[in-house]
Structure 1
Amino acid sequence: MLAEYLRRLRRTAGLSYGELAVRSNCSAAHLKRAAGGRTLPAHPVMLAYVGGCTGDSRHRLYTELMYGRAVRAVEQAKRDFRRSGVRPDLQSVEDVAGLSQALRNAWAQRGRPVSRTLALSSRWLPRSTAHAITTGRVPRDLRQYVAFLQTCGIDDESLAPWFRAWFKVFGRLSARDAATTLETLEASYDALRRPAHRARAQALSSSRASPAVGGSGPGADRDGRQAQWLRNGSQGSERGAVGSSPSVDRST
């Protein structure tokens, strides 16, 4: 669509590629490739092409919109190509190496997004940590562990077996760590819970009923389930757990 639009601009302007190269201060070869549709043109080349054809800011704004869509489409195609069909096997996780492999399988199923993309999805997942997880390490901070899983599309009840696997490998979770992680989870779901509360209050108001106040809705239910998992982990992991503290990374 972007390439077709660029070609149409040039035809409307009545310019050859040689003439357009002079007006845009860009080589004719680059301009031809930009309108060829086989590869996504570099952003400066795209702007030079449009500016040489029209010089109209309105065309530039529209082209920027189309270019953004093309970039997202290319990125999605790359993720789909890299996507793995191997599902994480949490039942066989016995140690840090097994949990690391499961995390990488979850990442591969998501299409192997780059570390920068993962880090932009969560404030609790630094870019360096995201890269470390994708290259074989398991985070010592449970908040980073959960943040990585959420960026891989694993959330809500799907987190339950991942919590169990983490407790199985690292053992007991201290009360302080459990409280800190729970606060993080509650904060991450607060944005989801508040719209649900507003929608429910509006529905009740329209039916002349008193708006509900308090922890209701899917966000609150989700918080309750994850709080229970964390409390269970802080009281003791399942039988056969290895280690006694989440602060030790046995992957090294």
Structure 2
Amino acid sequence: MTGAGAMPPGPARAALADYLSTLRRRSGSTWDRLARITKLSEVTLRRTARVTGQVRPEESVIAFVAGCGGSGVEQDRALDLWRAARVEERKVLLRLKAPPLDAVRTAGDLRDAAAAAYERDGASPWKEVRKRAGRRPDGTLILSERTIRAIIVPPGVDPSSIQARRRLPGDLAQFEAFLRGCRVSEKELTLWRRTWQQVTSPPAGDHTRVASALSREAADQRARASACKISPPYEKLLRQLSREQVDALLAAGTAHIVVETARRAGISVPVGTEDLAAVLRQASARSEDLAATLHKVLSGRT
């Protein structure tokens, strides 16, 4: 039961509590007897089967079902309900807005899809994810904490606020290790592997489309990484603009600063502010080095 003024349980949490309570009633076990069977305290068991409070760890649910004499099928059902309750509790999956795997087009899409896989699996503690990911021949864990930290989104955090430090791992082995830690099956890994290759190593004849997508992703990463240099009011404004509008704004601002700085220093600039802004926008669209472009323009070599 929920106390006076308490928020009612979510449907997923209520379903888990109802299922576990049904198993206990069917078994005829008292809380005291169940505690002796599972080696868990009565308090822990009651918290595992109640509808309020923090969702208890996966291990508690497994022990609860086993203590009630549940079958393997019933354990799997309980774990499905537990995962749904964790998704409901953490509220990360909805904020991620991750695309389905067959709709992934950029490295950012693939990173978010992997983060969603972590959430759907119940967002286990990192140490458990690393254990499930496997070990090297020398016994060390394959999956690093850095990889996990770079992919997932902590609960209560807006994904857009930490985009600058979220990225795909540098190699496929780490990425696969993360997915194995999230209990992605070997069959499903084949599709993940293929998607990784499409995003990071485009097939012949498809370089233009994927390179464009990757350059957009890189531009997004650079923009987010520099967000810490922007005052909060301007950061809020930039979030409301499209990528094209931000590019135009930065090109115009950069051109103005360059031209005015040169004029104050008594340096002759071969182009006006508007022309320089247009050159910068074109160079950005071609993913060229903007510093090199400025040097060429100001030296009269374009």
What's the TM-score bracket when you normalise by the shorter of the two chains? Answer: 0.3 to 0.5
TM-score normalised by length of structure 2: 0.36
Which structure is richer in relative contact order (CA contacts within 8 A, separation 6 or more)? Answer: 1
For normalisation by structure 1, the TM-score amounts to 0.42
